[in-house]
Structure 1
Amino acid sequence: MAAWLPSIPYPPEQEGYWAPITATLDWCEENYYATQYSAEIVNSMTNLLFAYLAIKGISNCIINGHDRIFIVSFLGYLVVGVGSFLFHSTLKYPMQLIDELSMIYTTCIMFYATFAHNKSTRYITILAGSLITLSVSITAYYHYLKDPIFHQVVYAILTAIVLIRALYVMEINIRPSLRMKETALRSDSADSDTKPRTRNEQRRIDDRDAKILRTMWIMIAYGLSAFLGGFAVWNLDNVFCPTLRTWRRKVGLPWGILLEGHGWWHLMTGIGAYYYIVWGIWLRHCLNHKQDDYELYWPRLLTSMPSVVRKRGHNQAAIANGKKKR
């Protein structure tokens, strides 16, 4: 297979620094073939994407004044990447718990961000307490059960609930045909020039929000495609592991790295999760009626990562106002 490709033969597995393996999962990548200090080198290194995107996201939140809950979300996202790096490097059970449970905790943070917005203090307190109780219960039961299927099912259910709720909130609050108008047009104004301006402004708002909604759906499609595509590759990696190992041995290094399905799962879900958090930030600004203050910066759909930034005109106005106040 592909004998014409220049390659290096896969080295044999060696005794690992972190041996013995205590995790309940051992993935398709062969163990300790590259270095004795990393059980699964590709599965470990692909988590560096989480670190990069987490730092990018946290920096963006601080610079642009996004709600602090999204800084916490990106910190959780970072912990997922670090936990996964440690797990795949060592294949130790405690590191496995950090990897898997941090996914649950970060999803609960996004659950809170999605359901707590504009709610009463009592509602928020009950929601936070319920999510903490749920997280502790999942942690205790998973540690007792030690069944990865339980973790995967719970994670999928939580993610689906958060996604469906966020989609509903987006549609009902942004789509012009569904959105409840906050203010009625001043049809009884005595100033005849006011009516056209008011109608024009409403038309501008509707056009703006329709455009935002279209872009949001593109972002959602990209994020879901990356996430579900990664899930599909992850399953193929599990089902056809013996075949993939044979192919990797035949093509050698570095080409065999491209057949590490679990590594692709990390890259694709990392991108998908990042898209979701950025979408959550943008949706929050829209719910706060700040569409004219913030915009999505996404210069190239396929080769760049989106971020939500303050509009330049808004920054200049803020600077001007600051100078005037002085």
Structure 2
Amino acid sequence: MEGGLSSFWGPVTSPEWCEKNYVHSSYIAEFFNTISNVPGILLALIGLINALRQRFEKRFSVLHISNMILAIGSMLYHATLQRMQQQGDETPMVWEMLLYFYILYSPDWHYRSTMPTFLFIYGAGFAVVHALFRFGIGFKVHYVVLCLLCIPRMYKYYIYTNDVSAKRLAKLYVVTLFLGSMCWLSDRVFCEEISHWYFNPQGHALWHVLMGFNSYFANTFLMFCRAQQRGWDPKVVYFMRLFPYVKIQKPKSQ
């Protein structure tokens, strides 16, 4: 414990990151890793409001809500460093990827009831198994595989989209994913060296911030692509010329 502070949550029972524990509060183990999830919650809330206001399909509302749940789970994990809260962070990560898989692949799936049924059973089964066993590196490999399965479809959407602003969203998604991954790896691999620096760059906290934007760019791009599939004449517009969101014009029959 730093500065004589004691832990409100008891001994650490989950993996720690490259941030000294309980420096700023006895209630928050990793302060920066905790508060860095706030931008992700706010961005998901903005996406949810836009999806509801323009009556997008419910899948996108669920996706934005899942982003918020994931960020809240991450906050609880880093604030407590307890195994139960760690599972509350990692299980929603898998659920979120299953949602992305459904949104990406369901438009061309001929048997529409089979995919959501399978994904629901898979997600529920994973939650039960993950609650009973520690995976460690196995969880990370599993999560990366789910991400890789989504990339071909994301790329297909990109090459079939002619709108320059929508393509820019996809590029921002790739850039934030790359930068966030570099921050995550640096924090994990070079932690021993970083711990001797006068200033900790808080790579894992930067990962949280960048992934909050990454999810928002991905969601907005997918909303554009889906609106294009439905013939809703989507456009990427900017709030105060900085913040992108999708504006649609549904036919009167819809």
Query: Scaled by the length of structure 2, what TM-score is found?
Result: 0.91
Q: Does 1:234 align with 2:176?
A: no
In structure 1, what is the Cα distance between the partners aligned to 2:23 and 2:154?
A: 43
Q: What is the SS of the residue equivalent to 2:25? A: coil
Q: What is the SS of the residue equivalent to 2:113? A: helix
- 1:161 pairs, out of 149, 152, 166, with 149
Aligned residue number for residue 140 of structure 2: 152
Q: Residues 145-224 of structure 1: matches in 2 within 5 Å?
A: 145-172=133-160, 174=161, 210=162, 212=163, 214-224=164-174
In structure 1, what is the Cα distance between the partners aligned to 2:98 and 2:125?
A: 13
Cα pair 1:48 1:81 within 8 Å, conserved: yes
Cα pair 2:166 2:236 within 8 Å, conserved: no
Q: Deviations over 1:276-318 (max 9, x none)?
A: 1111100001111222xx31113688xx33211236xx8xx97
Q: What is the SS of the residue equivalent to 1:306? A: strand
Aligned residue number for residue 73 of structure 2: 83
Aligned residue number for residue 95 of structure 2: 105
Cα pair 1:234 1:262 within 8 Å, conserved: yes
- 2:124 pairs, out of 127, 136, 143, with 136
In structure 1, what is the Cα distance between the partners aligned to 2:75 and 2:64?
A: 16
Aligned residue number for residue 35 of structure 1: 25
- 2:211 pairs, out of 260, 269, 272, with 269
Deviation at 1:144, TM superposition (A): 4.2
Aligned residue number for residue 9 of structure 2: 18
Q: Which amino acid aligns with 1:282?
A: F
Q: Deviations over 1:233-263 (max 9, x none)?
A: 111111111221221xx24xxxx4xx11100
Q: Which amino acid aligns with 1:273?
A: S
In structure 2, what is the Cα distance between the partners aligned to 1:100 and 1:108?
A: 13
Q: Does 1:124 align with 2:98?
A: no
In structure 2, what is the Cα distance between the partners aligned to 1:140 and 1:62?
A: 32
Aligned-residue CA RMSD (Å) = 2.3
Aligned residue number for residue 3 of structure 1: none
In structure 2, what is the Cα distance between the partners aligned to 1:111 and 1:276?
A: 12
Deviation at 1:170, TM superposition (A): 4.8
Gap change, CA 1:13 and 1:232, over 3 Å in 2: farther
Q: Does 1:295 align with 2:235?
A: yes
Q: Does 1:309 align with 2:247?
A: yes
Identical amino acids, percent of aligned pairs: 21
In structure 1, what is the Cα distance between the partners aligned to 2:246 and 2:136?
A: 35
In structure 2, what is the Cα distance between the partners aligned to 1:269 and 1:169?
A: 21
Q: Which amino acid aligns with 1:246?
A: H
In structure 2, what is the Cα distance between the partners aligned to 1:165 and 1:116?
A: 11
Deviation at 1:70, TM superposition (A): 0.2
Cα pair 1:13 1:32 within 8 Å, conserved: no
Deviation at 1:160, TM superposition (A): 2.0
Larger Rg belongs to? 1
Q: What is the SS of the residue equivalent to 1:296? A: strand
Q: What is the SS of the residue equivalent to 1:298? A: strand
Number of equivalences: 253
In structure 2, what is the Cα distance between the partners aligned to 1:154 and 1:168?
A: 23
Deviation at 1:118, TM superposition (A): 5.8
Cα pair 2:41 2:212 within 8 Å, conserved: no
Query: Scaled by the length of structure 1, what TM-score is found?
Result: 0.72
Q: What is the SS of the residue equivalent to 2:195? A: helix
Cα pair 1:223 1:276 within 8 Å, conserved: yes
Aligned residue number for residue 64 of structure 1: 54
Q: Which amino acid aligns with 1:61?
A: A
Cα pair 1:13 1:31 within 8 Å, conserved: no
Cα pair 2:232 2:248 within 8 Å, conserved: no
Deviation at 1:125, TM superposition (A): 1.3
